[in-house]
Amino acid sequence: MSPKGYNFMPDYIFIYDSFQRGHLEPFYSSMYPGLLRYTARLLGDDLALLAEDCLQDSILATYKNRHLISTPEQWRAWMLKSIKNRVIEIMRKATSKRNYSTHTTLSASLEIGSVEADLIEQETMNAFFSAIASLPDRYREIVELSFEQGLKNEEVARMLDITEVAVRKRKKRLIEILREKLGGHTDTHLIVTLLANYSTLASPVYKTHLRHPETLMNRLDRL
C-alpha cells in the first residue's frame, strides 16, 4: 500500500487459490490483460496477433501442472516461464518458415532472461496501466493526446483550449501523480520512459481481443 492509500497489486494469494480450484474468473479479471500485453510484446509486432492463443496454451500448461506448484510465487514464475517457452516455440517456427533473423536474436535473449526480472517487469507494467486507468479525466486526456497520439504541446493546447504552459504543468503533475500511485518509490525516469513508449504499449496490437473466460474454461473441461 502506498502512502496515498493506492494499491494496484493483485491479491495473488486469492487468485492463486482460486486458480488451483479451477475458478479462473479472478485470474482472468486481474492478471489476464497484463499477461496478454506481456505475451504480445515478447512476440513482437509481426506475431502479436498470436498472443492470445499463446497465452491460453501457457495457462493450460500451468493448469495441468498445478499439482506441482505449491505457492503463489512459484505459480507466477511457472506461468511466465511457460509463456516464454511458448513464445520461443512460435518464434522458431516463424524463423524456419520466413528466416526472421530478428526473431532468432530475440528468441536467444528470451532463453537467458531471468524469471525474477520478468516478475518485477510484469508487476510494474500491471501497476502502471492500472494507475493510468485511475487518473482523473484531465490527466487521462494528456496521456491520450500527448503520449498515445504523439501530439505536440501546441496541438494539445489547441484541442483542450488551454495554454501550452498549462499543458506542460499538467504533464509535470501527471508524472507526480503516477509516482504517488505507484507507491512513491518508483523512479521518475522509469515513469517518463513508460509514458514515452505508451503509444506502442497501448497500441491495438497489444490490446488484442480478450476472449470470455468460458472459452478457456471449455478447454479446461476437456482435460
pLDDT tens, residue order, the chain (223 aa): 444 445 566 788 999 999 999 998 899 888 888 888 888 888 887 888 899 999 999 999 999 999 999 999 999 999 999 999 999 999 888 877 665 544 444 544 554 456 667 777 777 777 888 889 899 999 999 999 999 899 999 999 999 999 999 999 999 999 999 988 887 777 888 889 889 888 777 664 544 444 445 555 565 555 5
Which alpha helices (DSSP H) does 113-162 contain, by range?
Answer: 115-133, 137-142, 153-160
Distances (CA, A) of 57 to 18, 82, 138, 177, 195: 19, 9, 40, 37, 31
Q: In this structure, are residues 60 and 218 in contact, taking their beta carbons and an 8 Å threshold? A: no
Distances (CA, A) of 54 to 5, 37, 40, 83, 197: 36, 12, 9, 7, 24
The full DSSP string for 16-39 is HHHHHTT--HHHHHHTHHHHHHHH
Residue located via cell numbers 500485453: 37
Residue located via cell numbers 494528456: 142
